[in-house]
Amino acid sequence: MKFHYFHVGSSVADALSSFYDFATSAEVNDILRADIPNLRFVMDGSLTVDLSGETETFAAGSVIVCGPTFHACNITLAAGTRIFGMSVLPLGWARLFPDGRDVLTNRFCQGQDWLCDEAMDSARSLMGSKDVRERMEAVTRLVIAQRNDDARVNADFLAAADDWLKAPGEFDVENLVERTGLSHRQVERLCKSYFGAGPKKLFRKFRALYAANQMMWQGVSDWRKVAASTYYDQAHFIREFKAFNGQTPREFLSEGPTLARLILGERQLTGHPNTFTVIS
- Cα–Cα distance for residue pair 14/134, rounded to 1 Å: 21
pLDDT at site 277: 55
Residues 6+ apart with CB under 8 A from 4: 20, 21, 266
Residue 114 near residue 107, CB atoms below 8 Å: no
Torsion angle (degrees, nearest 10) of CA 125, 127, 128, 133: 70
193-209 as b/e: b if 16+ CB within 10 A = bbbbbbbebbbbbbbbb
Distance, first Cα to last Cα, the chain: 21
Residue 118's nearest CA partner among 97, 95, 92, 147 is 147
2-146: which CATH architecture?
Sandwich (2.60)
One pLDDT digit (tens) per residue for the chain, 280 residues: 999 999 999 999 999 999 999 999 999 999 999 999 999 999 999 999 999 889 999 999 999 999 999 999 999 999 999 999 999 999 999 999 988 777 899 999 999 999 999 999 999 999 989 899 999 999 999 999 999 999 889 999 999 998 888 776 666 888 899 999 999 999 999 999 999 999 999 999 998 998 888 888 777 777 887 777 777 788 989 999 999 999 999 888 887 668 888 888 787 766 555 555 555 5
Q: What is the pTM of this model?
A: 0.92
Contacts of 264 (CB under 8 A, 6+ apart): 212, 213, 216, 217
H helices of the chain, where?
A: 90-96, 117-126, 132-146, 155-165, 173-180, 184-195, 199-217, 223-230, 234-245, 249-255, 258-267, 275-279
